[in-house]
Amino acid sequence: AQSVAQPEDQVNVAEGNPLTVKCTYSVSGNPYLFWYVQYPNRGLQFLLKYITGDNLVKGSYGFEAEFNKSQTSFHLKKPSALVSDSALYFCAVRDEGNYGQNFVFGPGTRLSVLP
Amino acid sequence: ETGVTQTPRHLVMGMTNKKSLKCEQHLGHNAMYWYKQSAKKPLELMFVYNFKEQTENNSVPSRFSPECPNSSHLFLHLHTLQPEDSALYLCASSQEGGRDYEQYFGPGTRLTVT
């Protein structure tokens, strides 16, 4: 079975500092990995994905994530945080071999960027 | 905007009411999903339609009834709900079998059951 863990409920970072939101996963086959962001009273917005290829993937709004197969991790990063990055972040995984539907989402990490 | 719209955005209903949530995707996708998002709980996948056929029903109570008349529209019919059904209901779509595996979400319907 697939699973996703986001070990931190809350991450606080000062504006201008680098940020990291952690994600680890478990799948039986090759993972497809995703990050989403949710602002208050809004749906989830796709940020970036890893399917295959370069382990460092770049996405929207200056975010990037690094796929680490040995550590089964896919941490989200940004070199310089903005107050507007404050939101709820979700990591998700699906199994390459699981054609169709099954995204599994992590519980979410609330990011607060302090001015 | 993501290309997925949901109406209404807010809904308050009594436990004896019948209402429906509507989702429409303008992305040409072939799969659509209903999720439930409750406070302090992980996102729960409720129903999946792939090529208009329901392919997953994650033990959802029968007071929730989905309908997918075509690949662009998805409904969630609600009847005799309970207060614990109050949540944000999210619709999503994706293109299965292609190379874009991500799901695109609508803004959600905030449901309050009184």
pLDDT tens for each residue of B37-85: 998 788 888 998 887 677 667 789 999 999 999 989 999 999 999 999 9
Task: Report the mean per-residue pLDDT for chain B.
Answer: 90
Q: Which positions ≥6 away from A17 have C-beta within 8 Å?
A: A80, A81
Q: Which positions ≥6 away from A53 have C-beta within 8 Å?
A: none
Residue A102 pLDDT greater than 80, yes or no: no
Position A35 scores a pLDDT of 97
Q: How far apart are CA B100 and CA B103, in angstroms?
A: 9
Tokens found for residue B71: 């690949």
Residue of chain B whose Cα is closest to the Cα of A39: B107
Cβ pairs bridging A and B (under 8 Å): 61
The position carrying tokens 């436990």 is: B15
Instruction: Tell if the CB–CB gap between A101 and B55 is shorter than 8 Å.
Output: yes
pLDDT in tens, A15-39: 999 999 999 999 888 889 999 999 9
Q: Does A99 touch chain B (CB under 8 A)?
A: yes
Q: Contact at 8 Å (CB) between A25 and A96?
A: no
